[in-house]
Amino acid sequence: MKTRHLLASLTVASIVFAMPAFAADSAQDFVDKAAVGGKFEVDSSQLALNKVQDQSIKDFAQRMIRDHGAANTKLQAVAGEQKLKVPAALDAQHQADLDKLKNGQAPIDPAYVDMQRKAHDEAVKLFEDYASKGDNPALKTFAQQTVDTLKMHRQMIEKIAARQDSITGATTPAVKTDNTPNAAALVPGANSFTEAQAKSRIEGAGYTNVSKLAKDDQGIWRGQATKAGESLAVGLDYQGNVVASK
């Protein structure tokens, strides 16, 4: 009987001691991804300052250096207090993206904007998830304090992307004044935009209150939005074209 009690006690003790190790691994994973993402933001933006042409993109890059630089410093401090290691180098994928910018012929405006859109989609998801379900209270608070800034960055870069597309003709904003949807401007095809990306893209084209988004059988995201005080049906195709109708 005593032996069984001893074994049961040891089993409980093993579980108790195992849990912090699991929590540390999960927290370390967040630190790894957040640190690499933050470093990429700063490094790519420093590089972009000398290789992009559009002044609004330069201004965005400067803001990334400032905001992500501050967030990186805060993450290092919090991670240090939690006895977690902050990676000093980029991972292979981020380094490959940075090398593309470094080796690309100036101006690199489109490549930088595309990378920033992808990076901020990933960062918002990472920080939202950890802010909600994180296992380390200090890092969870850091994520909660940082995620709104990341969302603001994502909205900024989507607006820049929409404006760039309108200059190059890649986006076709068209608010109809009759009851006939301008469906011809939307191109059917496999759509890789997530719902969050579709919403950000539509908001970047000047719409607000974007809701009820659903992808139809042609790969087109459709929903409701507001522009100039009007409630409109809005669509987004796989090319990034945004079209609305009454």
Is 177 within the bounds of a domain?
Answer: no
Is the pLDDT at 228 greater than 60? The verdict is yes
Last residue of a domain, one of 113, 144, 168: 168
Distance CA 5, CA 73 (A): 49
- Same domain as 100, residue 16: yes
Express each pLDDT in 148-202 by its tens digit: 999 999 999 999 988 876 655 444 333 333 333 344 478 887 777 888 888 888 9
- Same domain as 111, residue 215: no
- Same domain as 108, residue 192: no
- Same domain as 155, residue 71: yes
Distance CA 172, CA 235 (A): 11
Structural domain that includes position 193: 183-245
- Same domain as 38, residue 144: yes
CATH code, domain with 161 = 1.20.1260.10
Last residue of a domain, one of 168, 194, 227: 168
- Same domain as 89, residue 36: yes
Is 178 within the bounds of a domain?
Answer: no
- Same domain as 132, residue 201: no
Look up the pTM and report it. 0.62
- Same domain as 235, residue 114: no
Is 174 within the bounds of a domain?
Answer: no
Cα–Cα separations (whole angstroms), residue 57 to 45, 117, 151: 9, 12, 17
Poorest-confidence range of 19-33, 130-144, 165-179, 230-244?
165-179
Is 139 within the bounds of a domain?
Answer: yes
The 3 state secondary structure assigned to the chain is CHHHHHHHHHHHHHHHHHHHHHHHHHHHHHHHHHHHHHHHHHHHHHHHCCCCCCHHHHHHHHHHHHHHHHHHHHHHHHHHHCCCCCCCCCCHHHHHHHHHHHHCCCCCHHHHHHHHHHHHHHHHHHHHHHHHHCCCHHHHHHHHHHHHHHHHHHHHHHHHHHHHHHHHCCCCCCECCCCCCCHHHCCCCCCCCCHHHHHHHHHHCCCEEEEEEEECCCCCEEEEEEECCEEEEEEECCCCCEEEEC
Express each pLDDT in 90-144 by its tens digit: 999 999 999 999 999 989 999 999 999 999 999 999 999 999 999 999 999 999 9
Is 176 within the bounds of a domain?
Answer: no
Express each pLDDT in 56-95 by its tens digit: 999 999 999 999 999 999 999 999 999 999 999 999 999 9
- Same domain as 22, residue 130: yes
- Same domain as 139, residue 49: yes
Last residue of a domain, one of 139, 168, 197: 168
Is 173 within the bounds of a domain?
Answer: no
Tally the domains of the chain: 2
- Same domain as 207, residue 160: no
